[in-house]
Structure 1
Amino acid sequence: MTADLVINNGIVVTPDAAFPASVAIKDGKVIAVGAADAMPAAHETLDASGLHILPGAIDVHVHFRDPGYPNKEDWESGTAAAAFGGVTTVFDMPNTIPPTGNGTILAEKHAIAAAKAHVDFGLYGLLGEDTIDNVPELIAGGVIGFKLYMGNTFGKIPSPSTGAMLEAFEVVAETGKRISLHAETNSIMERRQTRLTQAGRREPLAHLDSRPAVVAVEAVSRACILSEWTGARIHILHISSADELRPLREAKARGVDVTGESCPQYLFLSTDDYSRFGGVIRVNPPVREKDNQEPIFAALQDGTIDMIATDHAPHTPEEKTRNDIWAVDCGFPGVETQMPAMLTQVNAGRMSISDYVRWSAYNPARHWGLYPRKGAIQPGADADLALVDLSLEWVVDDAKIQSRSKISPWHGRKVKGLPVHTIVRGRFVMRDRTLVAGTKGWGRSVHAIQKMPAPDVRNAGKTMRAVTNGFRPSPTTESAA
């Protein structure tokens, strides 16, 4: 057998170890990992001397704005940015135009992504008050999971009532899919923003004051209770505060199937940066006080937080530099800068490169039913690889990133450690820090390879469907009415 590609002289990184090895690839899959002299003949070889070979990162939280907002980002530019960031799989959120709330819209979005994407992808279905009945058709159409907005964010997706949220959890629990949650309590935020606006507060820190950590504490606690009751699997997005770690830890200790992510903005930015970046730093949840950073990092280390994501949320410079903070669109790009930011911490000795692989690839693949096809470098796995040079330095320049959004609080940041080559299913999509021609449309949806564990439905006899299905009032009830 002749391999398509053999990579020699690199250091293969797993969640538990880093060791010198060669990697052989054929038909898009890893076929061998081991000594160079044990590798098959190959049509092409690559000398990876000085490079670490990582499983490509899986970013479970991006907004590529397509369809609906192509001036901000589209699938071509967003996945090019992913490739430059060593990210080989992305999960895209449903707050596009139209929102991904039914099977027809999902099919249209699949077609757009398949035509443009450089890397593999999954699509979320919207779980809201008016889309609960659409869960079966979204499952049939191929969603990676569901997104439920407990609090307002870009796109103004309505937040469901707690009653509707419970019913939504009941319905999705039966499918085994995971529900990602924007866990901020909407009523608190709306009330506080109204009062702050009335008080004339329009500076960047007013946004932080409208969303104190209690909005996340309450929302995480409520979501975990509903998950525990129904058996629905949930994922807490963009953990931003030390305070929400307690309800997350307690839920995990009770056996709730809940995972969590944090993002570089909550590890490396703080209120100290508001004066420098102004509205550019506005994001939901907000960047918080510096004393939240170390507890979040420690929660990654001890497993309370399972993974790193980005909440890549691009906007135009004009939309990020308005004088009134309430008029500034929330979010900024991050899919290209996440890996360099984290590898900088590896270089600083704050964590190991195996820690990074666990948080960026292994855990996302495992918790989203993609392991061992994704998130691993072993025979049978998809050859999704990021070859990184830990000694390579870069100063982030917004003008030079692949995203259409040329404005972020990462501008001017010094990083050390960059992906040099990115391979998706055996094919180079970024090589020598250059996008490879002809890879547009190479990415494909990963929903077909997703294998979630069997559902663990709880309180099935007390669901909305169970208590209303076939119900007919008794004569006594009718007469009493």
Structure 2
Amino acid sequence: MPSYEQILRSHTIVLPDGPIDGWIGINDGVIAALGYGDPNDADADQLDDLSDYVVLPGVIDTHVHIRYPGHPEREDFVTGSAAAAAGGVTTILEMPISVPPTWNVDLFEKRVDMAQGRTHVDIGFYAAGGYQAIPHIGQLAEAGAVGYKIFLHRPQKGREHEFEGLWAVETGHIVQVFEAIAKTGLKACVHAEDDELLHYAQERLEQQHRTDPLAHVEGHPLLAETLSVQRAIMIAKHTGARLSICHLSSGTGADLVRRAKADGVPVTAETCPHYLTRVDTDMNAYGAYAKINPPLRSQFEQDLLWAAIQDGTVDFIGSDHAPYTREEKERGRESIWAAPAGCPGLETTLPLLLNGVTAGRLAWTDLARLTASKAADEFGLASKGRIALGRDADFAVVEMTDTTIKAPTMQTKSRETALIYDGQPVAGRVAKTYVRGTLVYDDGHVIGDARHGKVLRSRRHQ
């Protein structure tokens, strides 16, 4: 009789080809066996009965901002990873925007060291890939960066120190950046908004003395995204860089990605739950708490974006977890321009997407692809992303029961700014989270200390 350290039993285990009624055998934190029905012919030191739950592959969140060490009041690795665990996220891919940004190997390694022994879940790190970082791009790949983040517009005034080495605006500079990244084989992940058009739109609104919430939407027009997406696609086609469009906010932008894929361009697209569940006019109700870059779009664009998810144009969904303090967001009451852009999302992504499952917009396999398997494939996380033999035993266990999102109970330090979803009805909740076979979250409680998570490095790491 085969023996395992641990067996999980559930009536709904979401495998790549579809859900099964069966069991998972785990040894040394790795999936060692999969079976149908009850594990009558197997023995285990520990049997976890999850019969009433759905077992999904652990979420790989492709877009997370922790902010530490520059802004520990917003988040740190312990609280951010606790929020991840509460949201069924077993792997965080953390963006390089901090003080300082990780635009060279020394800064990258210091950031990795800060995370060691301080995370409940596994974590990988992007490196900055702007024009200033070009001499370091190859070395950052060898150091283990999972990809590169590039802003295609200048940083806003007052935040230049957070964006050092992160941006490229001139077309020639972007070409050079993409050429350097193409040599690494890693992904060039871009924030796609046209710098010149942003400057023009915001200057015009300032001349009109517009400080209301919707001025933020108009200051980041849809055309700014589509122009920038198309330019990035053309440069990727020219250079051979593996492009990813971060936090795509519109169906119109998704159509450009769809056409590029058909043309053979190596491009993927990420979107976020807020673009699928909130629209531009929600700015009137939530003000600065709904201020996000790129901004919320119209219902028409949201419908097109859902269509792009359903036809496979959109590859993965990341939270764009962007923590700030309530005091920072409250500055937007006087003028929307005074508040920072972003909202927390690590704990809400999976519950919100469960609404898409019950509405018939997503099958369980779609959800697993969008939140785990495609990201694992694209970012070279060979041990992650699927419930399959030899993969890490990373699971998000959800209970399908009507409930509501409650911001005050969140693990993130930024819970007071999670107002756009506070009280939101959802079709299910994250009940348990396993990282490499270890239970790190159980029915509202983070389990254990923040030493279980490990740092993941890309395949280029020596």
CA distance in 2 between partners of 1:83 and 1:378 (Å): 21
2:27 counterpart letter in structure 1: K
Match in the other structure for 2:28:
27
Q: 1:339 aligns with which of 345, 350, 360?
A: 350
2:386 counterpart letter in structure 1: A
Cα deviation 1:229-277 (Å, max 9, x = unaligned): 1111011011111221222112111111100011111110012311210
- The answer (yes or no) to whether the contact 2:145–2:458 under 8 Å persists in 1 is no
- The answer (yes or no) to whether the contact 2:226–2:253 under 8 Å persists in 1 is yes
Cα deviation 1:65-111 (Å, max 9, x = unaligned): 11211101111111111111111111111110001111111111101
| Contiguous gaps of at least 5 residues in structure 1 | 452-481
Aligned-pair CA distance for 1:412? 1.6
- The answer (yes or no) to whether the contact 1:24–1:39 under 8 Å persists in 2 is no
Aligned-pair CA distance for 1:183? 0.6
- The answer (yes or no) to whether the contact 1:196–1:210 under 8 Å persists in 2 is yes
- The answer (yes or no) to whether the contact 1:32–1:39 under 8 Å persists in 2 is no
CA distance in 1 between partners of 2:460 and 2:89 (Å): 18
1:379 has 2:389 as partner: yes
1:432 has 2:443 as partner: yes
Match in the other structure for 1:231:
240
Aligned-pair CA distance for 1:397? 2.0
1:159 has 2:167 as partner: yes
Aligned-pair CA distance for 1:9? 3.2
- The answer (yes or no) to whether the contact 2:254–2:269 under 8 Å persists in 1 is no
CA distance in 1 between partners of 2:400 and 2:364 (Å): 10
Cα separation, partners in 2 of 1:153 and 1:398, compared to 1, 3 Å: farther
Between 172-181 and 395-404, report the one with greater CA deviation: 395-404
Sequence identity (%): 36
- The answer (yes or no) to whether the contact 1:344–1:415 under 8 Å persists in 2 is yes
Aligned-pair CA distance for 1:152? 4.4
1:185 has 2:194 as partner: yes
SS in 2 for 1:369: coil
Match in the other structure for 2:54:
52
- The answer (yes or no) to whether the contact 1:22–1:39 under 8 Å persists in 2 is no
Match in the other structure for 2:452:
442
Match in the other structure for 1:9:
10
1:291 has 2:300 as partner: yes
Match in the other structure for 2:434:
423
1:434 counterpart letter in structure 2: H
- The answer (yes or no) to whether the contact 2:396–2:434 under 8 Å persists in 1 is yes
CA distance in 1 between partners of 2:458 and 2:390 (Å): 16
Q: 1:75 aligns with which of 74, 77, 83?
A: 77
Cα deviation 1:352-391 (Å, max 9, x = unaligned): 12211111111111111224x1111111000001111112
- The answer (yes or no) to whether the contact 2:24–2:33 under 8 Å persists in 1 is yes
Aligned-pair CA distance for 1:14? 2.4
- The answer (yes or no) to whether the contact 2:31–2:393 under 8 Å persists in 1 is yes
Aligned-pair CA distance for 1:198? 2.1
Alignment RMSD: 1.6
Match in the other structure for 2:215:
206
- The answer (yes or no) to whether the contact 1:369–1:450 under 8 Å persists in 2 is no
- 1:318-467 correspondence runs (5 A): 318-322=327-331, 323-371=334-382, 373-391=383-401, 393-405=402-414, 406-408=416-418, 409-438=420-449, 440-448=450-458
CA distance in 2 between partners of 1:433 and 1:180 (Å): 33
CA distance in 2 between partners of 1:304 and 1:272 (Å): 26
1:316 has 2:325 as partner: yes
Match in the other structure for 1:263:
272
Aligned length: 448
SS in 2 for 1:4: strand
CA distance in 1 between partners of 2:354 and 2:47 (Å): 26
1:173 counterpart letter in structure 2: A
- The answer (yes or no) to whether the contact 1:343–1:353 under 8 Å persists in 2 is no
- 1:89-100 correspondence runs (5 A): 89-100=91-102
Aligned-pair CA distance for 1:153? 5.6
SS in 2 for 1:140: helix
Cα separation, partners in 2 of 1:47 and 1:97, compared to 1, 3 Å: same
Aligned-pair CA distance for 1:38? 5.6
Query: Which TM-score applies when normalising by structure 1?
Result: 0.90
- The answer (yes or no) to whether the contact 1:386–1:422 under 8 Å persists in 2 is yes
- The answer (yes or no) to whether the contact 1:12–1:53 under 8 Å persists in 2 is yes
Aligned-pair CA distance for 1:165? 1.0
1:251 has 2:251 as partner: no
2:392 counterpart letter in structure 1: D
CA distance in 2 between partners of 1:244 and 1:178 (Å): 19
Cα separation, partners in 2 of 1:192 and 1:39, compared to 1, 3 Å: farther
Aligned-pair CA distance for 1:40? 3.2
Cα deviation 1:137-169 (Å, max 9, x = unaligned): 211221000000012467442631221110111
Query: Which TM-score applies when normalising by structure 2?
Result: 0.94
Cα separation, partners in 2 of 1:80 and 1:449, compared to 1, 3 Å: farther
